[in-house]
Every structure is written in C-alpha cells, then in structure tokens.
Amino acid sequence: MHDPDLMAMAQDELDRACSLNWRDLAKTVPWGDEFDGISPAGRNVTASRNYIWVGDPDGDILCEVRIYGGQTRYDHGAQASRLIKKP
C-alpha cells in the first residue's frame, strides 16, 4: 500500500539526509539513527535514516530513509533511498 503522507515525509527527510557531502559522510559510515516526529498530515511517526557503503568501504554511500507509524508498523512504512557518489 502506498501512503502519500508517509512518502512525502520520506522524500523530505531523504533530501535533508543527503544534504551532507560525501567527504563529511565518509567519516561516519556506517551510521544510522531514528527519531520520532510528526508527518505532514499530523500523524505520530518514526523516521529511520541509514548510511551504508555500497560495495567496498570508501566507495559510494547509500542513504536509506524509512518513515513508519511505530515499531509494529515498520513493514508498512514508506522508504526512499539515494546514492551519494564518491567524488
């Protein structure tokens, strides 16, 4: 099921998560965090953000974001990802 509210928040959070450049991110990969927030429609949600190496360490970085309505709804959340290319 596609939830436009969760997808909108996932895209917005992905844009924020990818605002750091590769050089800054490479110092901390692999890394992830979670926080509770409010979706654009006013729902309580959890946002999860992860940065992982694609293939070999010190290469491209994959940023993944998932927005979901609490731990029991993780599999029903919206996910967005973007590749951050090594310069």
CATH number for the domain spanning 50: value is 3.30.1300
Residue 35 sits in which domain range?
4-84
Q: pTM for this one? A: 0.88
- How many structural domains compose the chain? 1
Cβ atoms of residues 29 and 49 within 8 Å: no
Distance CA 81, CA 7 (A): 11
Question: Of 25, 20, 79, nearest to 48 (Cα)?
Answer: 79
Q: CB within 8 A of 76, min separation 6: which ones?
A: 1, 3, 68, 69
Question: 3-class SS at 40?
Answer: coil
Distance CA 51, CA 16 (A): 13
Tens digit of pLDDT per residue, the chain (87 long)?
589 999 999 999 999 999 999 999 999 999 999 999 999 999 999 999 999 999 889 999 999 999 999 888 888 899 999 999 999
